[in-house]
Amino acid sequence: MTDTPTFELDGEAVPFTPGETIYEVSQRHQANIPTLCYDDRLEPFGGCRLCVVEVEGYRNPVASCTTVAMAGMKVRTATAQVEKHRKTLVELLTSENPHKKIDPLRGAASQELVTLQRRYGATGERFAGKTSGTSREDDPNPFILRDYDQCISCYRCVRVCAEQESDYAISVMNRGFSTQITTEFDNLLEDSDCTFCGQCVQTCPTGALADRKALRAESLPEPLEATRSVCPYCGVGCSVDLMSKGDKLVAIRPARDGGANEGALCVKGQFAFDFVQHDDRLAYPMVRERGELRRASWDEALDRAAEGLAAASRDHGRHSVYAVASGRAPHESTYTLQKLIRAGFGTNYIDNCSRA
């Protein structure tokens, strides 16, 4: 016998830790409960009502994201009744938004509503009529598109800004169909406490908040691919996914399972990546000739570098050669450089840029 409590999830006894919600437990099992206002980093909100389940003995279906599991509960996650309820909700939400292609470039969670529309065959026609949310086309910032026509008032953006960033830069005004996500005094984002960290963009389930820099690549035909890496800026070492289409780096996304950042980024990590494929990049080696730098082959430039170092050592002693390692390049750069100095000249004449 075990002390671990269990409840019945779709006929199967499942163990849980006291305090866990039905939804959290269901995530470890086969149950496929839909959500829209849920983000596992945030306090459960219970706003979208898509995660409703039936619990035996309860009069009405309950939101599984806010209902704490109790021993002996009998929970059914996909009865015809709750599925019909969910379909109606998705129909209602769909009817509120204009029909528009939501490109996956908009953000990490941008396909959540689209996916549910497909699952439930929801077109929005059944409740066609008034729409909610007004896009802020007047906000000229080149980073965050505020396409609130697509907003479903799940408040994930507002909550991530408050609970994860502790910035409280955005808020909700008005009620019902007039509900609008906004900043204090209904200003532009740059006039608010917004730091442009992009958290709201990446948690938005409809693409109402979108990565404007990424959308520059909307017309590229190649598939969108993700490569796990680490941000090149400060020493926090946030895990990121490098989003590429073919040979083009098109966006950066925070990694939800990154140990250092757990899904967070800042404005630099999120948006300051254009330097990689910038026209100013050095494209070929150069050597100085008659006072000017000119293009050279790798062979010529490498010979010139090796000869210059060797000549200094030969003519002025091995302590006339020095190297400065980078705090931005990977370990392999510094390791090879210090080995070149130590193995090549027998000195410890090496430093890195940490003193300035």
Partner 1 sequence: MSNPLSDMERPDVIFAIGTNMTGCHPVAATRIKKAQDKGAMMIVADPRRIPLAQRADLHLQLNVGTDVALLLGMAHVIAREGLVNESFIAARTTESGAFLEHVKRFTPQWAESICGVPAADIETAALAYGRADRGAIFYTLGITEHICGVDNVQSLCNLALMTGHIGRPGTGINPMRGQNNIQGAGDAGGLPNNYVGFQPVDDPANQARFSKAYGRQIDGERGITKVRALDYAAEGKMKAMVICGENTVVSDPDRHHCEKALKNLDTLVVIDIFKTETAELADVVLPASAWAETDGVFTNTERRIQRVRAAVPAHGESKPEWWILSQIARRMELPGFEYESAKDVFNELCSLSEIYRGVDWDKAGEAKYHWPVPAEGHPGTPRLHEEDFPTPSGKGTFKRVEFREPAEVVDDDFPVWLTTGRRLQHYHTRTMTGRAGMHYFVPQETLEVHPADADAWGLKHGGRVKMASKRGEVELAVEVTDRSPRGTVFCSFSFGDTPVNELTGAGYDPITETAELKVCPVKLVAVT
Q: Does 339 bind partner 1 (CB under 8 A)?
A: yes
Please say which residue, 185 or 275, places its beta carbon nearer to partner 1.
Answer: 275
Please say which residue, 174 or 348, places its beta carbon nearer to partner 1.
Answer: 348
Q: Does 171 bind partner 1 (CB under 8 A)?
A: no
Minimum separation from the CB atom of position 181 to partner 1 (A)? 21
Please say which residue, 7 or 196, places its beta carbon nearer to partner 1.
Answer: 196
Q: Determine which residue in the list 59, 99, 281, 290 makes contact with partner 1, applying CB under 8 A.
A: 281
Which region among 4-12, 104-112, 128-136, 227-235 touches partner 1 (by CB under 8 A)?
227-235
Q: d(Cα 275, Cα 97) in Å, to the nearest integer?
A: 36
Q: Does 305 bind partner 1 (CB under 8 A)?
A: yes
DSSP codes of every residue in 11-54 = TEEEE--TT-BHHHHHTTSS-----SS--TTS-----S-TTEEE
Q: Does 221 bind partner 1 (CB under 8 A)?
A: no
Q: d(Cα 87, Cα 75) in Å, to the nearest integer?
A: 20
CA separation, residue 34 to residues 63, 98, 152, 257, 301 (Å): 11, 22, 15, 21, 59
Which region among 23-31, 114-122, 150-158, 242-250 touches partner 1 (by CB under 8 A)?
242-250
Q: Does 143 bind partner 1 (CB under 8 A)?
A: yes
Q: Does 215 bind partner 1 (CB under 8 A)?
A: no
Give which of 132, 127, 35 is closest to 88, Cα–Cα. Answer: 127
Please say which residue, 78 or 272, places its beta carbon nearer to partner 1.
Answer: 272
Strands 62-63 and 52-55: antiparallel
Q: Does 283 bind partner 1 (CB under 8 A)?
A: yes
Which region among 29-37, 65-73, 82-90, 279-287 touches partner 1 (by CB under 8 A)?
279-287
Per-residue b/e over 215-244, b at no fewer than 16 CB within 10 Å?
bebeeeeeebeeeeebbbeeeeebbbbbbb
